[in-house]
Structure formats: C-alpha cells, structure tokens
Amino acid sequence: MPLPRPALYALGAGTAVAVPAGIWLLLNFDPNVAGNPFPPCMFHALTGYYCVGCGMTRALHALVHGDLVRAFGMNPLAMLLLPLAPLLVAHAQGWRPRLLEPLMRVALKPGMWLVLLPVYWVARNLPWYPFTLLAPG
C-alpha cells in the first residue's frame, strides 16, 4: 500500500537530510579510531559476539571512501543488501519494473528474512574458516 502524500513528502525530506548528514559524518569521522561519534554495538559489547549489523558503520565508512573490498570485509551481507533498500521503497510506492519482479517476490517474503538473518548471525560467529570471513575484520 503506497504511503499517503504527506507521509511520502516527510519521508523524502527526512531522507534528503539524513543521507547527506550520514555521508558527511562518515567522510569526516573514522569509526575505527577512539573518540569517534558513532555508538558501539551494544550486543557485541555485552556478549562478545557479532550481531547481524556489526561492522556496518565501518563498512559504510569504507564505502564512502571508495574502498569496496574493505566495506565488503566488514559486513558482506549489508553490502550485498544495500542496493535492495531503495528498490524496496520504490516497489512499495508502486514502481514495479517487470525485470525486478522475481527479486521483489523473494525479498518481500518474511520467511526469507526469518531464515537469512539468523543463519548469517550464527555463521559470522563460528570460529572456523570460511565462516571467519563473515566477521568484521
């Protein structure tokens, strides 16, 4: 169901402010050094295990600096799914190119996410190769 027009305008305005602000922060502050303004992962701080989002801030930092390999190394799933976010928003607003329909049918199934995210969460905490490649590096 498409958003009502006022909500769509608010979403657009929020995005128009948040995205450039986030990019500016990521360009000017390194999440890899002490004293940065980015909050640490509370799950990792409490448990010592990596969550699904661990490494995402560092991955986005590497991405805005053009280091795709490092970005992928920090959070491979997030970097693979990042292009999907605007497509999902556009699909929800009625933009439905025939070419993307198979992808959207899979991406919009809750069952896919209910399997993918926990499997990734567990796999990136396993101490054996190749699973160690999923941990933020």
Q: SS3 string of the chain? A: CCCCHHHHHHHHHHHHHHHHHHHHHHHHCCCCCCCCCCCCCHHHHHHCCCCCCCCHHHHHHHHHCCCHHHHHHHCHHHHHHCCHHHHHHHHHCCCCCHHHHHHHHHHCCHHHHHHHHHHHHHHCCCCCCCHHHHCCC
- What tens digit of pLDDT does each residue of 24-54 get? 999 999 999 999 999 999 999 999 999 999 9
pLDDT value of position 7 = 81
State mean pLDDT over 2-11: 79
State mean pLDDT over 75-98: 91
State mean pLDDT over 11-35: 91
- What tens digit of pLDDT does each residue of 105-124 get? 999 999 999 999 999 999 99
**pTM of the predicted model, to two decimals?**
0.85
- What tens digit of pLDDT does each residue of 87-110 get? 988 898 888 999 999 999 999 999
- Cα–Cα distance measured from residue 90 to residue 103, given in angstroms and rounded to the nearest whole number: 13
